Amino acid sequence: MQQLEALTREARALAGGMPTTAAETEVARQMQICNACRYCEGFCAVFPAMTRRLDFNKADVHYLANLCHNCSACLYACQYAPPHEFAVNVPQALAVVRGQTYSDYAWPPALGALYKRNGLTVALATAGALALFLVMMLAWANGSLFHAPLAGNFYAVFPHNTLVAMFGVVFAFAIVALSVGVATFWRAQNPVPAAPVEARASPSTGSGRTGMGGAAAEATSDALTLKYLDGGHGQGCNETGDAFTLARRRFHHLTFYGFMLCFAATCVATLYHYLLGLHAPYPFLSLPVLLGTAGGIGLLLGPAGLLWLNLRRNPQEVDVQQRPMDRGFIALLLLTSLTGLALLAWRDSGAMALLLAVHLGFVMGLFLTLPYGKFAHGFYRSAALLKYAIEKRQPNRLALGAD
């Protein structure tokens, strides 16, 4: 029996692959040091997951990189951080590999590599080109960009079926690309069947939720509450020094729930259209407009705050090479919400068609680039949290960590 377990472990290590890039090898080196130290074990999920391993293969390194929230608590706590000769900087080392995983698992791979190299340019160029295309179509079809007020009737500019066809294609592409990426990531993490998930609660959280269902519920809750952005002590992340702040968690929440409210507004409007036969434009106090307005405000405040934090973040805590990619995503979110709110404010004016074309261009640009940057991290991170919740419910053969 013991021999079988040893063989299974060996197969798992081989299937996971040895670290191949310099960044992966650096994470494996630092994890060996952390595994001997373990001072940061209570900070986040990365360190308890680390204590279940003695070696770190490629899949392990990718898993830990996507478990990390880059809160930087472990950098400021570390006695081996630079200028110590061990040069342990876990947030930065994991950030480099995390950025690499966005393109490693991206589908199609060429788009992932392109976005990684020039995220800001690709995001803005895609959205700008689509907006320009729609504006030119408008000018060509109507002979002018301006018109008599249309009482906010978008379908007088772009017919309903044209909008459904355009967004159906873009939305389907984003869903397929994200699904393929996450499925590839999950397969790399689980190359051989995992040990059974025990019908027991998580020992480290004391959660009463058991088995696979409990693991899924715990991972969902941890992802939705951004649990590990509290630094492990509830006071938040480090941004520019050793002071804690919950600002990043708050701005992330505004962004995420703003996005979800906008998505909910679209779903409700679709139900109104097809189920109830109620066609847009909807009044300002109708459910789709209220949801869209609240979501737009969240998507304005959240990304603005994240951009402000990004601009002043201590470069030692991050991978500075990824800044164009991060800022490209934040810029598109900001421009999407700004143009959406402008469209709502001036929907009964002669500039509505122009505002609509620009807004639609930015929305399509956002969805086309979603699978390649920070947004994809939300999905890889959720998959990593699910793996972590499952692992905690499996026997720990090493029994060296807190769980």
Binding positions for ligand SF4, rule: CB under 6 A:
33-34, 37-40, 43-44, 46, 68-74, 77-80, 88, 90-91, 94, 228
Question: With contact defined as beta carbons under 8 Å apart, do 382 and 219 qualify?
Answer: yes
- Closest to ligand SF4 by CB, 29 or 209: 29
The answer to whether the CB of 75 falls within 8 A of the CB of 81 is yes
Shortest reach from residue 354's CB to ligand SF4, in Å: 44
Asked if residue 199 lies in contact with residue 210, where contact means CB atoms within 8 angstroms, the answer is yes
Amino acid at 232: G
Based on CB atoms, which residue is closest to ligand SF4, 77 or 260? Answer: 77
CB nearer to ligand SF4: give 44 or 122.
Answer: 44
Start-end of H helices in 78-210:
90-104, 109-117, 119-142, 160-189
Q: In the complex with ligand SF4, which residue's Cβ is closer, 33 or 287?
A: 33
Our CB check for ligand SF4 shows the closer of 71 and 355 to be: 71
Closer Cβ to ligand SF4, 88 or 364, answer by number = 88
Residue 177 vs 230, nearer CB to ligand SF4: 230
- Name the CA radius of gyration of the chain, rounded: 23
Q: DSSP readout, 299-349?
A: HHHHHHHHHHHHHHS-GGGS-GGGHHHHHHHHHHHHHHHHHHHHHHHTTTS
Helix (H) or strand (E) holding 245: strand 244-245
Residue 92 and residue 72: Cα distance in Å, rounded?
A: 8
Task: Report the residue number, 121 or 321, with the smaller CB distance to ligand SF4.
Answer: 321
In the complex, minimum distance from the CB of residue 228 to ligand SF4, in angstroms, rounded to a whole number: 5
In 3D space, the residue among 62, 73, 67 whose CA is nearest the CA of residue 19 turns out to be 62
Nearest to 373 by CA among 329, 321, 324, 318: 329
- Closest distance between ligand SF4 and the C-beta of residue 79, in Å? 6
Run of H or E residues at 353: helix 352-369
Instruction: Report in angstroms how near the CB of residue 88 gets to ligand SF4 at its nearest.
Output: 5
> Closest separation between CB of residue 39 and ligand SF4, Å?
4
Rounded to 5°, the CA angle 158-161-165 comes to: 100
CB of 69 vs ligand SF4, minimal distance in Å: 4
> Using omega within 30 degrees of 0 as the cis cutoff, is the peptide bond preceding 149 cis?
no
Closest to 235 measured CA to CA, from 224, 225, 246 = 246
Q: Cβ 227 to ligand SF4, closest distance in Å?
A: 10
Closest approach of ligand SF4 to the CB of residue 80, in Å: 5
DSSP 273: I
Say how many residues make up the chain.
403
